[in-house]
Amino acid sequence: MVLATVFVLLTAQWAFGAEWDEAQAAYEKEDFAAAYALFEQLAIQGEARAQFQLGVMHKSGLGAIQDDSTAVDWFRKAAEQGHADAQVQLGYMYLYGRGVTEDAGVAAHWYRQAAEQGSAAGQSGLGQMYDDGWGVLEDDAQALYWFRKAAEQDFAVGQFSLGNMYFKGEGVAQDYAKAIEWFTRAAEQGLRVAEFQLGVAHETGQGVPQDDAMAFEWYRRAAEQGMPEARYRVGMMYEQGRGVEADFREAVRSLIGAGIRGHAQAQFHLGRQAHVGSGVPVDYEMAMLWYERAAEQGHTAAQFNIGFMHLNGQGVPEDAGKAAAWFERSSAGGDPQAQHALGVMYANGQGVPQDLGRANDLYRASAVQGYGPAQFALGFAYANGKGVAQDHEEAASWYRKAAEQGQADAQYLLAVMYLEGKGVTQDTVEAYALWTAAAAGGIQDAEEVKKQLDPYLTAPQLTRAEELSRKYLKQAAE
C-alpha cells in the first residue's frame, strides 16, 4: 500500500512538474495571488503537493484568507492521496479541533498514516499521542518506539521527546546522561524547549554538574526565540546575579519581554517592583497595570495585592468592598494570605457583612496551608469562643503552630496558657521560653512579664528556658 501511494505521488509530481515549479517560484517571490491561482489549478487536477500547499496557506493566512475549515478540506484531499505532510497537518487539526470537531482518535489515525510512511513529524506526533493517551491507550513503550524513530531521523521534536522519556524514566530506565545527549542534539537545531530544558538541568544539577552560568546561557538562547518562561528566568538571574553579572536594567527588560507575552509570574514580579519600589520608584498605576494582567490569568498573589491596594487606597480610592471582592477571587484560588485577610474582613464586618463562622472557615483554610497569622487567628477564636465553641486545647494547638513560625502574638498568648495551665499542662519554664521568644519578636510586655518570673525559676530552669526559646527562634528562622 505504501509503495502504491508513493508511485501515485511520484507520477503526479512528474506530470505536473513544470506547473508546480512555476507555482513555487511565484510563492517564493511572495506573489501570493499568482501562486494561489497556480496551486489551485494544480490542486483541482489532483496534485497532492498543491492541495497541501493550499491547506498551509489557508491555515496560516499567508497568501490566502485564514480559514481552518478550508485548510482541512485541502489537507484531507492531499492526505487521502498519501501525502505524509498533509496527513500530519490533518492529524494536528483534529487533535486541536481547528476547522473540525476535535477528535483525538482521528488525529492518531492520520499521524499513524504519516508515521508508517517514514514521516519523522508523523512518528513524533504518534509518539506524543501514546505518551499522553490521546486517541490511543497510553503506552510508554510505543511512545518511546516512535520518538526514537523520529529522533534517529534527526527530527528535533522527536529528539527532545526521547530525551524527556529518559529524563523521567518512562518506558525506559531513567538515564540523565542519555536525556542530556538527546536534549543537546535537539537544542543544537534551535528547538527552544530543548534549550530551556538544558537550562533547567544545569540550574538543578540533574544529569550535569550544577552550573548557573551554563543554565543562564541555555535560558538566554530559548529567550531569544521568544519563550516567555525562559525570558522570565533570564530576568530573575540578571536581577539576582546568578550565572551572570547582576544587571537590573537587563533584568527588567527581560521580565517585560516575558510579561508582554503573557507570563503571569513575570507580570506579578513587575507589579511588585513598582508597588514596593524595588529597584524602581514606587508607581501604583504601573503596579496595578501589571497586577491586573497577572490577575486575569488567575495569579492569586496578584489578585491579593490588588485587593490590598483597594483596601489601603494605594493608587485607587480606598474601597473595602472592592478589596473584599479581590480577596474572594484570590481565596477561591487557594491563596492563604487572601483567605486570612478576607477572614479578618468577615470577622470585623469590613466591606462584607460580619460573619464569624465564615471568618473561621477562611482562617482554617489558610491555617492548614501553614500560614502563621491565620493559625494565630484561629487559635484566638477558639480561646475566646468567637464563632466557635470555646476550646482551650484547640486554641493551644493552633497557637503552637503559629508560635513555631515566629508569630510573636501567638508565642505571648501560648505562654499565658502554659502559665495558667489552660489547654496544656502547666509549665512555667515553657511559658518563660515563649515570652523570651515573643520579646525577641517585638512584644514589649513579654519582656516585663518574663522579668516577673525570674525570681521563681531556678538556675537550671532558666537555662532550660533559654534553650527552648532558642529552639522557637530557630524554627521561626527556618
pLDDT in tens, 80-90: 999 999 999 99
Average pLDDT over the chain, rounded to whole?
A: 94
At 97-155, the pLDDT tens digits run 999 999 999 999 999 999 999 999 999 999 999 999 999 999 999 999 999 999 999 99
Q: What are phi and psi of 86, to 5 degrees?
A: -70, -40
- 409-422: average pLDDT: 96
* pLDDT surpassing 80 at residue 17: no
Q: Which residues have CB under 8 Å from 295's CB, separation 6+?
A: 302, 303, 306, 326, 329
Q: Which of 265-279, 415-429, 459-473 has the lowest mean pLDDT?
A: 459-473
- Take residue 50 and report the three cell numbers written for it: 498543491
Per-residue confidence (pLDDT) for residue 134, from 0 to 100: 97
Burial class (CB in 10 A: 0-12, 13-18, 19+), 362: buried
For residue 165, report the phi and psi dihedrals to the nearest 5 degrees. Answer: -65, -45
What is the arithmetic mean of pLDDT over 255-281?
96
- How many whole angstroms separate alpha carbon 392 and alpha carbon 241? 49
- Which has the closest alpha carbon to 121: 77, 163, 151, 82? 151
Burial classification of residue 330, based on how many CB atoms lie within 10 Å of its CB (0-12 exposed, 13-18 middle, 19 or more buried):
buried
159-180 CB burial, b ≥16 within 10 A, e <16: bbbbbbbbbeeebbeebbebbb
Q: How far apart are CA 400 and CA 392, in angstroms?
A: 12
Task: Specify the DSSP element, H or E, that contains 363.
Answer: helix 356-367
pLDDT attached to residue 196:
98
Q: What is the pLDDT of residues 185-206, one digit of tens each?
A: 999 999 999 999 999 999 999 9
pLDDT of 16 reads: 63
Residue 341 has pLDDT above 80, yes or no: yes
**Mean pLDDT, residues 412-423:** 96
Q: Supply 77's cell numbers.
A: 484531499
Residues 345-374 pLDDT 10s: 999 999 999 999 999 999 999 999 999 999
Q: Which pLDDT score, from 0 to 100, does residue 8 have?
A: 44
- Confidence (pLDDT) at 4: 47
Query: What is the model's pTM?
Result: 0.85
CA nearest 71: which of 62, 80, 84, 58? 58
